[in-house]
Amino acid sequence: MTRGRNRHSRSKVLLSVTAAVFLAGCATITRGTTDTLVISSDPPNAEVTLSNGLRCRTPCSLTVKRNESLVVKILRDGYEPVEATVAPKVAGAGAAGMAGNVLLGGLIGAAVDAGSGAMYDLVPNPLHVRLVPLGETVPREGEGPGDGRTAEVEASAEGGSGAAADS
């Protein structure tokens, strides 16, 4: 009879360990540790270089780590160069994953999600840049022509502010 109880106890322990492993890092499991950064420009066919070394021509999509801030450099002959920063921000879905970790008692899962970057979204994403021909400027809000910046970076409605980048 003792033998039966030991098997039952071992089964419970095995089940508990398995559940803990699978529940650890809810956002890591459901969202992953990478994101697709979408970059476009007007006009298209601009050269894009990320601070992590990845390159493409607009319009393009690159797979990058969710927890990594990136500097995006966009160049096209005859146009002002543009530099923008894409940074991790706690996402709604990432926050939900963290809440799941807390509710299910998964401190390990919370640490995994925070460390892996699964709780973040990259902002802005998509990144759209309106390139300005050399020598022209785009006026800032409330300013006249000739004042202001040389290019404008637009963020998606989800991605936050439509912050502009000076070159």
Residue 160 lies in a domain: no
The answer as to whether 70 is a domain residue is yes
User: Is 102 part of a structural domain of the chain?
Assistant: yes
Q: Is the pTM of the predicted complex or chain greater than 0.85?
A: no
pLDDT in tens, the chain (167 residues): 555 556 666 766 555 555 544 444 454 455 678 899 999 999 999 999 999 999 999 999 999 998 899 999 999 999 999 999 999 988 764 444 455 555 554 555 556 555 566 678 899 999 999 999 998 876 656 555 544 455 567 654 344 433 344 44
94 domain-assigned = yes
Residue 66 belongs to domain spanning:
2-155
Give how far Cα 154 sits from Cα of 5, 72, 75, 126, 157, Å.
64, 13, 16, 9, 9
- Closest to 72 (Cα-Cα) out of 127, 118, 120, 117: 127
What is the domain count for the chain?
1
Residue 161 lies in a domain: no
Q: Which of 90, 117, 99, 115 lies closest to 23 in space, CA to CA?
A: 99
- Residue 121 in any domain: the answer is yes
Residue 162 maps to a domain? no
